[in-house]
Amino acid sequence: DNGPRVSSLLMLVIGLTGGIGSGKSTVSHILARLGARMVDADIVGHQVYEPGGPAYDDIINTFGREVVGPEGKIDRKRLAGIVFSKADSLEKLNDITHPRIRDAIAVILKEWRGEGTKIAVVEAAVLFEAKWTTLVDEIWATLSDESVVLDRLFKAKGMSHEQSRARLRSQIPPEEKARRSNVVIRNNGGLEELEKQVEDLWRSVNSRLKGSGTSSPNAPG
């Protein structure tokens, strides 16, 4: 019975990334509504920290018991306090969590392949930073002008322009993410314009899949 293997060839995995406030979550919601199966790396990321999760022990061994809160859970605020005060700590934390998150996403994708899913989307702000690009067949990036991002983050989260700029500087520049992606979703206008763009992309990716019968039309380099 080679059914599962046949269907495994037919799933396209799209990585969705972009700078902060550029519209990743909004595009995710649109894609989910259109029928894509979505995995959010942030949610998977939280799971690896849970007691019994694959990063729990290593984090405590590396950063000390003081990162454990009253209920035995890792207290992300305490951890952040340590990570952002000591040089190299963030890198150490990422070295622990990123490979575990990657493995967990790979397990989910494998399951979905087995179920005959046609298109899966991995939403990950740090797709490039975490080197998760090999999990996906192609990469889509949302891109917004910095002035638009600053405005949005102020309105949506009350973040000052200085806070937003500091966050932007902690990641690969959004323009570079766009350059390294197969598809760029420009998001400087309204919601309707964004919806139309994503609907067009969805249509074209579906007709591409139908036409070629293969899952990797354009592997990122």
Query: CA-to-CA distance for 89 and 14, rounded, in angstroms?
Result: 31
Residue 28 CB, nearest distance to ligand ATP (Å)?
8
Task: Count the Cβ atoms, other than its own, within 10 Å of residue 185.
Answer: 23
The verdict on 171 binding ligand ATP (CB under 6 A) reads no
The verdict on 89 binding ligand ATP (CB under 6 A) reads no
The verdict on 23 binding ligand ATP (CB under 6 A) reads yes
Closest to 121 measured CA to CA, from 129, 108, 131, 130: 108
Query: CA-to-CA distance for 201 and 166, rounded, in angstroms?
Result: 32
Show the site string, 25-44: x = touches ligand ATP by CB under 6 A, - = not.
Answer: xx------------------
Q: Which residue, 33 or 86, has its beta carbon nearer to ligand ATP?
A: 33
Most distant pair of Cα atoms in the chain: their distance: 59
Backbone angles phi, psi at 138, to 5 degrees: -155, 160
Contact 7, 114 (CB under 8 A): yes
Q: In this chain, which stretch among 19-27, 32-40, 86-94, 127-135 interacts with ligand ATP, using CB under 6 A?
A: 19-27
# residues contacting ligand ATP (CB under 6 A)? 17
Among positions 125-154, residues that touch ligand ATP (CB under 6 A) are 125, 142, 152
The verdict on 174 binding ligand ATP (CB under 6 A) reads no
The verdict on 21 binding ligand ATP (CB under 6 A) reads yes
Q: Which of 22, 117, 181, 197 is the binder for ligand ATP (CB under 6 A)?
A: 22
Contact 55, 104 (CB under 8 A): no
Query: CA-to-CA distance for 18 and 143, rounded, in angstroms?
Result: 6
Residues that bind ligand ATP (CB under 6 A): 18, 20-26, 125, 142, 152, 156, 187, 189-191, 194
